[in-house]
């Protein structure tokens, strides 16, 4: 316990003279926050920069740092003003270490984002998370925003409201790999004082794609607000946050993460009427319709042997 509190104190003290604790003022920005100009980090590393959420965050995160280092296994495209590109396969420890050098915080969106064969998940999500945290430890990077997933708890029912204190109930090997990342980050906080926000991201897309996503939807602007809150809150600790917009129907309670100060501004409600009109009533005898993880419950197994 003593070590944890010493670490928290150190982070809080660092926050006094560094950027932690200085929040971009969302009210100064336009709806996306793109007009915000306060540079809160010297160099921010965005992994998975070529992926869906990486692309969504790329333009927005430039407001949060002087230099945004973009990393992915594949080329995320040429660096723009205030950007630099460093390719790295998450499974390659030395490449990840090189990408971490000189970085003060990480937004880790990299890895396999869906259920699939275990081999690639093992490499990218499990070994990749280990390589990332080892690199952070070696480089002295103290804060990571980790893209976990709602599929860590996908076997809870849609009739249950869960908090971060509910035990994991993964619905897939993908969900299991994200649960590993959450535990790994907990260890690196307890042992090494690296703060992490585990974002149990719901469905981050431009708009909800089915009835389930009316509960799980996270707009790109709210994703950015959530990441920014986690990057700038004075004392983050190790925190699990459900990544959702201000949807009227939800299965997740973020009370335990109030210290992050995340205030979503979007809602799935404007999409409800059209969604109900174009999609059939759910079959309430189907496990996919009654569990939070939805279609992930039916994916796989992929590795036959």
Task: Restricting to residues 136-195, name those near ligand 15L by CB under 6 A.
Answer: 149-151
Nearer to ligand 15L, 50 or 201 (CB): 201
Nearer to ligand 15L, 85 or 204 (CB): 204
Question: Which tokens sit at 162?
Answer: 């869960």
For the CB of residue 19, give the shortest distance to ligand 15L in the complex, in Å. Answer: 29
Nearer to ligand 15L, 203 or 233 (CB): 203
Contact predicate 65/42, CB 8 Å:
yes
Q: Which residues of 72-110 are buried (b: 16+ CB within 10 A; e: fewer)?
A: bbeebeeeeeebebbbbbbbbbebbbbbbeebbbbbbbb
Nearer to ligand 15L, 141 or 149 (CB): 149
Task: Tell me if 108 contacts ligand 15L by CB under 6 A.
Answer: no
Q: What does DSSP assign to residue 111?
A: S
For the CB of residue 147, give the shortest distance to ligand 15L in the complex, in Å. Answer: 8
Task: Tell me if 113 contacts ligand 15L by CB under 6 A.
Answer: yes
For the CB of residue 236, give the shortest distance to ligand 15L in the complex, in Å. Answer: 22
Between CA 218 and CA 238 the distance in angstroms is 22
Contact predicate 274/295, CB 8 Å:
no
3-state class (DSSP) for residue 29: coil
Sort 224 into a burial class: Cβ within 10 Å, 0-12 / 13-18 / 19+: buried
Q: Which residues are marked as active site?
A: 174
For the CB of residue 164, give the shortest distance to ligand 15L in the complex, in Å. Answer: 17
Between CA 221 and CA 57 the distance in angstroms is 9
Site string for ligand 15L, 254-283 (x = CB under 6 A): ------------------------------
User: Residue with the closest Cβ to ligand 15L?
Assistant: 203
Instruction: Give me the half-sphere count of Cα atoms (radius 13 Å) on the Cβ side of residue 58.
Output: 24
Nearer to ligand 15L, 151 or 169 (CB): 151
22 contacts: CB under 8 Å, gap ≥ 6 = 38, 40, 232
Task: Tell me if 19 contacts ligand 15L by CB under 6 A.
Answer: no
For the CB of residue 196, give the shortest distance to ligand 15L in the complex, in Å. Answer: 17
Task: Restricting to residues 195-254, name those near ligand 15L by CB under 6 A.
Answer: 201, 203, 216
Q: Give whole-number Cα distances, 126 to 43, 88, 270, in Å.
A: 25, 15, 38
For the CB of residue 6, give the shortest distance to ligand 15L in the complex, in Å. Answer: 35
Nearer to ligand 15L, 216 or 233 (CB): 216
- Residue 142 backbone phi and psi in degrees, to 5: -110, -5
* Contact footprint for ligand 15L (CB under 6 A): 113-114, 149-151, 201, 203, 216
């Amino acid at each position: 316990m003593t070590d944890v509190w010493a670490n928290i104190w150190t982070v809080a003290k660092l926050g006094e003279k560094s950027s932690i604790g200085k929040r971009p003022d969302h009210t100064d920005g336009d709806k996306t926050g793109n007009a915000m100009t306060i540079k809160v980090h010297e160099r921010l590393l965005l992994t998975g920069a070529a992926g869906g959420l990486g692309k969504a965050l790329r333009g927005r995160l430039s407001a949060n740092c002087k230099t945004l280092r973009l990393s992915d296994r594949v080329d995320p495209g040429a660096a723009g003003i205030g950007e630099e590109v460093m390719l790295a396969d998450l499974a390659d420890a030395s490449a990840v270490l090189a990408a971490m050098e000189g970085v003060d915080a990480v937004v880790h969106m990299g890895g396999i984002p869906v259920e699939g064969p275990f081999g690639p998940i093992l490499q990218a999500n499990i070994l990749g998370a280990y390589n990332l945290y080892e690199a952070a430890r070696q480089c002295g990077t103290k804060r990571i925003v980790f893209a976990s997933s709602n599929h860590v708890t996908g076997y809870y029912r849609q009739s249950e409201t869960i908090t971060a204190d509910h035990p994991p109930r993964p619905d897939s090997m993908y969900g299991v790999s994200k649960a590993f990342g959450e535990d790994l980050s907990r260890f690196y906080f307890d042992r090494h004082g690296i703060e992490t926000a585990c974002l149990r991201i719901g469905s981050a897309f431009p708009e909800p794609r089915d009835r389930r996503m009316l509960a799980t939807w996270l707009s790109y602007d709210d994703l950015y607000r959530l990441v920014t809150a986690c990057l700038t809150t004075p004392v983050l600790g190790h925190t699990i946050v459900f990544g959702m917009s201000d949807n009227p129907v939800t299965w997740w309670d973020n009370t335990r993460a109030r210290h992050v100060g995340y205030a979503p501004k979007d809602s799935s409600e404007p999409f409800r009427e059209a969604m109900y009109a174009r999609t059939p009533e759910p079959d309430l005898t189907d496990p996919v319709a009654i569990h939070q993880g939805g279609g992930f419950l039916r994916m796989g197994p992929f590795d036959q042997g």
